[in-house]
Structures are given as structure tokens and as C-alpha cells.
Amino acid sequence: MSALRGGRRVARELALRALYQWRLTGDDLARLIVQCEEAEDYAQADAAYLRELLAGVLGEAPALEAAFAPYLDRAPARLSPIEYALLLLGAYELLHRPEVPYRVVINEAVELAKRYGGTDGHKYVNGVLDKLARQVRSSELLPR
């Protein structure tokens, strides 16, 4: 694994933890970044990517939620904080980081859901992000 990919993986994990915190407490971006910087694995993270993810998700949360909401089977408020955070992160990357292949975006979200989410949360996150990718990354997908 390249240092950049590993750094982005750690950045996504730290962003997930920060967004979980944000969902529960409403902490602002500056406080979330400080908490990330204090994390044990921060030195391995792509710090610039982490900041971009957090600033982008917090700045565009309503628009990101609107992008994935049509593919939900419940109101966004009823999602677990982990599922919600992962869907925001995945939606942000699908919409704003076209150089990151959609399969990487989905795989990273699924792996984090397996690690941090509920029993079948990874399946839910996978399904929602797959449907969103079919809409926003159609040129990258082969027809089924």
C-alpha cells in the first residue's frame, strides 16, 4: 500500500470519528480538527485530506444528505451516527473527488462500517453509496 493511500485511509477513519462526535455534540470544525490532531494515529494520516473531508462535509452536509436521501429506507435522522457519517463522507468523495475511483470510495466506507458500525451497517452503506455512484459517476460505471 502506498503511503498516500494509507494516509488517506487513516484520514477517512479520523474523519469518521470526528463526524461521529459532531453528530452527537455539534462540535465545530476547529474543535474536531484539534481532536483529530490529538489522536494516536494522526501522524499516519494525510492531514490535508482529513481537513478537506471535514471542512467539505461540514460545509455541505445538507446538500450531501440531499444527494443520498433518495436511496434511504428511513429518514436521515434515524440513521446511526456511524452510518450517517459514512454516507456523508462517501457522498462528499463521490461528488467532489472524481480522481478517487468510486469503488475505492465505497470499499473504504464499507470497511469502516464493518469496523465501527452495527452488524449489517456495512451492507446498508454499500447499497446507498452504490446507488449514489450510479447517479453521479455514471461515466465510470459499466452498464449492468
d(CA 87, CA 51): 17
Q: How far is CA 67 from the centre of its chain?
A: 13
Task: Quote the pTM value.
Answer: 0.92
d(CA 4, CA 136): 25
The full set of domains in the chain, from first to last, is: 3-139 (1.10.940.10)
Q: What is the dihedral sign for C-alpha 9, 10, 15, 18?
A: positive
- Region 135-141: mean pLDDT is 85
Q: How far is CA 135 from the centre of its chain?
A: 17
Reference 52, options 81, 89, 4, 107; nearest CA is 89
Give residue-wise pLDDT tens across range 85-123: 999 999 999 999 999 999 999 999 999 999 999 889 999
Tell me, what's the pLDDT at 39?
95
